[in-house]
Amino acid sequence: MEKKIKSDFENTYKNSSLNNELKFKKEFLNKFIEKGFPSKKLESWKFSDLNQIINKNIENLIFYNDTTKSYKIDESLYLKNLEHNKIVFINGKLEEIKFEHEDNNKIKISKETKIDNNLFKDNALIDLNNAFAIYNYKIHVEDGYNVKKPVVIYHTTNSELNSTNINIQLNFLLGANSSLKLIDTFNDISDKNFINIYYNFKLKKDSVLKNFKLDNLINNNIKYSFNNIDQETNSVSETFILSNGSKFFKNEINCNLKGKYSSAFVNGIFSLSENRHHEIKTNINHLIENTKSYQLIKSVLDNSSKAVYQGKIYVDKDAQKTDGYQLSKAILLNENSEFNAKPELEIYADDVKCSHGSASGSLNENSIFYLRSRGLNYKEAKNLLIKGFLLDVIEKITDEEIKNIIKSTMGLST
Amino acid sequence: MREKELEKLKDYKYGFSTDIENFKAPKGLNEDVIKFISKIKKEPKWLLDWRLKAFERLKVLKEPNWQKPKYPKINYQDLYYYSAPKSFKEKPKNLDELDPKLLETYKKLGIPLQEQKRLNGIAVDAVFDSVSVATTFKDKLTEKGIIFCSISEAVQKHPELVKKYLGTVIPITDHFFATLNSAVFTDGSFVYIPPNVRCPMELSTYFRINASDTGQFERTLIIADKGSYVSYLEGCTAPMRDENQLHAANVELIALDDAEIKYSTVQNWYPGDKDGKGGIYNFVTKRGLCKGINSKISWTQVETGSAITWKYPSCILQGDNSIGEFYSIAITNNHQKADTGTKMIHIGKNTKSKIISKGISAGQSDMTYRGLVDIFQKANNSSNYTQCDSLLMGNKCGAHTVPYIKNKNSESTIAHEATTSKISEEQLYYCQQRGLNSEEAVSLIVNGFCKEVLQQLPMEFAVEAQKLVGISLEGSVG
């Protein structure tokens, strides 16, 4: 692999005029080569051996992604019934970025080649991303500006992409007292690619971020997404994850509550079948007093699917009066499905309220009996119970418009 | 000087050491030492071969380092692997032949070896450094066909049982410390309960490390045959020494059809002084196998001692309808560290497990609950309930929960709950208002917090444990 990745690296940057940055990128490349794809020997990949998954699903992974070609945007993919701003990626290349509903003086978009994250030394996939993501897009929302319409990022791939690794890097800076709603959607016609996405959010004082990650179309790609969220005083972040369509998807949320009264919410749904294997890993770091976090993850697992939830709440010794809550529930519908959880608490302060709960099992027979005695057949009863189980998470979404869209894409609207 | 020592003893009343001439194997870990141990214990060849096989395995194994409490590297060549009171070279026939100094030691520890034995009604096997000192109540047990003796005696008298079961739950190819124990284990207890016998009394072992630079490696093997029941208690103490001492024991429990084993531990090894100097490294492997149908194994532990406690008493629920239970209180104070919990491996159908863990950390200590619940694909209709609560006292300590939950069976249910909090001001205020001082109030609240676990202990132990809980937390408030 080493030879291949090195020549792909040369290929990627052969026409570029980068000098100093290229040196850094090379360092990251070497770091990645040294570590390789993470395997189950690493604690955070214990339940999902990415190295094995990639070897099994992708023969000869290509790291070189030809970005000279341009594709026409298929506008039929755009979300309907929602006015929104668009960022479109096709095969890992940014094709369009258009804030048509906004005051363009208030949002600054820049494209940089400099790498400014060196935070996650143990994460080989971020090294890989740093080495191969040619541009690092920055979106800066000015102080006091509330982005009026949601921003939808379309991650699309077409059939020309095969056995390729795509790396995307985006940075968001939310100025003081600003707000942003961000929806990630995935449209894949391609097969067997490895898509590696890194988002970095900086939330200044009193800002609000709502991020919805919707992976609901069946495809055979392997995806990894890492969100780093740094929060200042009184900021709020809300992340919703719908994990459903890809062959493998690991969503990682790393949230640093650095300012007093900041809070983080992570809600997630796994709705898996047919050999899907998905994971959500969260790291909520309470670093200062009076911060709050809330996590709710629900899974419905059918037909040889596997879901993993690793949630960690870390409370620093300075983080008195922390409120940390975490709950994961899973319904196993099929004897071949599997749910693994590692809800972890690491606490160094005494005046805290932290709890976690985890439950997994089959559908409650008594509830099914109740519904059947009222005239529903078995299938209807089962579907109704699952719907109720999942709606619980969706109801946590604080934006009505987006909530309804998510409900209708999942077929849960009433 | 004397006064100083007395002052020290206030904190840890079992901190005295006994002046008995010791007979030791040469320092270091090598084949010769293993052969020496085997020879001095007059072991048969198969056991020596077994030990050597473990030693071979040990050479390729690496010390694990994923645990939370880190410790300085142990030099395994600088330890004595066998230490026995000199007067023991010829094993005494009965209690009267024991070295009076030894008896005195046990008296100080409050262990009923001689005069109290009739009153207390507990059969005791005492292990001093590496050898089993005395076993009481033998006649009464023999009557019922129960075998309760040191493991070296069992090797001589009941080799077929030892050979059949030794290493079946903890194989010699297990992790580093378990394999180390397999290679150099010196003594320990052996219990066999014949079919359909209910052991009429509590069986108990007291371990004590006396000599310095010694590691204690005892091995306990308990077999409950079909339809039998036994309750077993284990207690431990060690003198105060400035250096750290290693304790790496292996405990294997085997429950056959319809049998039940209840294993209780009150662990009070020397925890080191206030600045974290000295103390025991308690790296113990405890594992129970519910081999037969309807079998049950229950672990209860009160962990107050040791500089570092690192153990996970586990249940392998192999037989259908078998039950595993784990009740634990772990208290750390000053610079103590604990990384403890359990593993429940559900293999058979209709298996049930329950985990109640209470952790209390005070001072600058660090406590981790680490557990695994694993339900296999064929383990239909199994269930697990886990509750782990942590209590923090002061803002220099830490409490962590790391549960691993794996469910591969859609008919099985797992429920897990964990909370972390501190003693509320209101509770303290309420108690103090009624005339308790702050320390008494804390002790009362903590005892309430632990009650679910304390209830599981046999009567005699429960009282002791309750006191221990109070003592361990002394000086941690205010």
* Residue type for position B218: E
Beta strands in B256-412 (DSSP E): 260-267, 279-282, 285-290, 296-303, 308-311, 314-317, 323-332, 337-340, 343-346, 352-361, 366-375, 383-392, 398-407
- Please give the pLDDT value at position A117: 65
- Mean pLDDT, residues B313-327: 92
In this predicted structure, the answer to whether residue B37 has a pLDDT above a threshold of 50 is yes
pLDDT above 70: percentage of residues in chain A: 99
Q: What is the pLDDT of residues A37-52, one digit of tens each?
A: 898 888 889 888 888 8
- Please give the pLDDT value at position B117: 44
- Please give the pLDDT value at position B346: 94
- Mean pLDDT, residues B349-368: 90
- Mean pLDDT, residues B77-101: 59
> Tokens 């200042």 belong to which residue?
A232
Q: Do the chains contact at A358 and B415, CB–CB below 8 Å?
A: yes
Task: Please tell me which residue of chain B has the smallest CA distance to A315.
Answer: B398
Q: Does A338 touch chain B (CB under 8 A)?
A: yes
Q: Does A363 touch chain B (CB under 8 A)?
A: no
User: Of B41, B69, B45, B13, which is closest to residue B338 (Cα–Cα)?
Assistant: B69
Nearest-CA distance B424 → chain A (Å): 9
Work out the pLDDT band at B272, boundaries 50, 70, 90: confident
- B409: chain A residues, CB-CB within 8 Å: 332, 335
- Please give the pLDDT value at position B118: 40
pLDDT above 70: percentage of residues in chain B: 78
- Mean pLDDT, residues A401-410: 87
- Mean pLDDT, residues B98-104: 57
Q: Does B65 touch chain A (CB under 8 A)?
A: no
Say how far apart CA B114 and CA B392 lie, in whole Å.
Answer: 42
Nearest-CA distance A340 → chain B (Å): 4
- Residues A390, A407 contacting (CB under 8 angstroms): no
Work out the pLDDT band at B443, boundaries 50, 70, 90: confident
Q: Does B164 touch chain A (CB under 8 A)?
A: no
- Please give the pLDDT value at position B116: 43
Per the prediction, chain B carries an average pLDDT of 79
Q: Do the chains contact at A362 and B413, CB–CB below 8 Å?
A: yes
- B374: chain A residues, CB-CB within 8 Å: none
- B405: chain A residues, CB-CB within 8 Å: 339-343, 358, 360
Tokens of A5: 């990745």
In this predicted structure, the answer to whether residue A77 has a pLDDT above a threshold of 70 is yes
Which has more confidence, B204 or A337? A337
- B411: chain A residues, CB-CB within 8 Å: 335, 362
Of A334, A336, A338, the CB nearest to B407: A338
Which has more confidence, B244 or A223? A223
Nearest-CA distance B368 → chain A (Å): 8
- Mean pLDDT, residues B287-295: 92
Q: Do the chains contact at B402 and A342, CB–CB below 8 Å?
A: yes
Per the prediction, chain A carries an average pLDDT of 88
- Mean pLDDT, residues B165-181: 88
Q: Do the chains contact at A334 and B410, CB–CB below 8 Å?
A: yes
Q: Does A361 touch chain B (CB under 8 A)?
A: yes
Nearest-CA distance B133 → chain A (Å): 43
- Residues A163, A91 contacting (CB under 8 angstroms): no
Nearest-CA distance B328 → chain A (Å): 18
Tokens of B200: 């009429």
Say how far apart CA A255 and CA A234 lie, in whole Å.
Answer: 14
Of B407, B413, B416, the CB nearest to A357: B416
- Please give the pLDDT value at position A253: 94
- Please give the pLDDT value at position B133: 52
- A352: chain B residues, CB-CB within 8 Å: 392, 420-422
Task: Please tell me which residue of chain B has the smallest CA distance to A304.
Answer: B408
Q: Does B86 touch chain A (CB under 8 A)?
A: no
Interface of B with A in 406-465 (CB under 8 A): 406-422
Distances from the Cα of B279 to the Cα of B68, B85, B468, angstroms: 18, 22, 17
- Residues B58, B34 contacting (CB under 8 angstroms): no
Residue B406, judged by CB atoms within 10 A of its CB (0-12, 13-18, 19+), counts as: buried
Q: Do the chains contact at A358 and B416, CB–CB below 8 Å?
A: yes
- A316: chain B residues, CB-CB within 8 Å: none
Q: For residue B378, how far is the Cα from the chain centroid?
A: 32
Q: Tell me which of A115-129, A319-333, B33-47, B172-186 is least confident.
A: A115-129
- Please give the pLDDT value at position A362: 87
Task: Please tell me which residue of chain B has the smallest CA distance to A301.
Answer: B410
Q: What is the pLDDT of residues B384-426, one digit of tens each?
A: 999 988 888 877 888 888 899 999 888 888 998 888 888 888 8
Q: For residue A80, count other CB atoms closer than 10 A to its CB.
A: 7
Nearest-CA distance B335 → chain A (Å): 14
Nearest-CA distance A362 → chain B (Å): 5
- Please give the pLDDT value at position B21: 61
Q: Does A364 touch chain B (CB under 8 A)?
A: no
Say how far apart CA B464 and CA B266 lie, in whole Å.
Answer: 9
Q: Do the chains contact at A335 and B411, CB–CB below 8 Å?
A: yes
- Residues B290, B324 contacting (CB under 8 angstroms): yes
Q: Does B113 touch chain A (CB under 8 A)?
A: no
- Please give the pLDDT value at position B104: 61
- Mean pLDDT, residues B57-79: 82
Which has more confidence, B334 or B433? B433
- Mean pLDDT, residues A339-353: 88
Q: Does A333 touch chain B (CB under 8 A)?
A: yes
Q: Do the chains contact at A354 and B377, CB–CB below 8 Å?
A: no
- Mean pLDDT, residues B214-223: 82
- Give residues with Cβ within 8 angstroms of A337, minimum separation 6: A272, A301, A302, A303, A304, A305, A306, B410
Q: Does A357 touch chain B (CB under 8 A)?
A: yes
In this predicted structure, the answer to whether residue B121 has a pLDDT above a threshold of 70 is no
Work out the pLDDT band at B32, boundaries 50, 70, 90: confident
Of A333, A350, A355, the CB nearest to B419: A355
Say how far apart CA B132 and CA B115 lie, in whole Å.
Answer: 19
- Give residues with Cβ within 8 angstroms of B54, minimum separation 6: B172, B179, B182, B183
> A-B interface: how many C-beta pairs under 8 angstroms?
114
Q: Do the chains contact at A356 and B418, CB–CB below 8 Å?
A: yes
- Mean pLDDT, residues A125-133: 86
- A349: chain B residues, CB-CB within 8 Å: 392, 395
Q: Does B398 touch chain A (CB under 8 A)?
A: yes
Half-sphere exposure of A386 (CA within 13 A, CB side): 21
Tokens of B374: 């694993």
Q: Do the chains contact at B401 and A344, CB–CB below 8 Å?
A: yes
Q: Does A143 touch chain B (CB under 8 A)?
A: no
Which has more confidence, B38 or B259? B259
In this predicted structure, the answer to whether residue B347 has a pLDDT above a threshold of 90 is yes
Work out the pLDDT band at B1, boundaries 50, 70, 90: very low
In this predicted structure, the answer to whether residue B91 has a pLDDT above a threshold of 50 is no
Nearest-CA distance A301 → chain B (Å): 9
Task: Please tell me which residue of chain B has the smallest CA distance to A353.
Answer: B421
Q: Do the chains contact at A346 and B421, CB–CB below 8 Å?
A: no
Q: Does A345 touch chain B (CB under 8 A)?
A: yes
- Mean pLDDT, residues B290-306: 89
- A358: chain B residues, CB-CB within 8 Å: 403, 405, 414-416
Sorted by where each begins, the domain ranges of chain B are 14-311
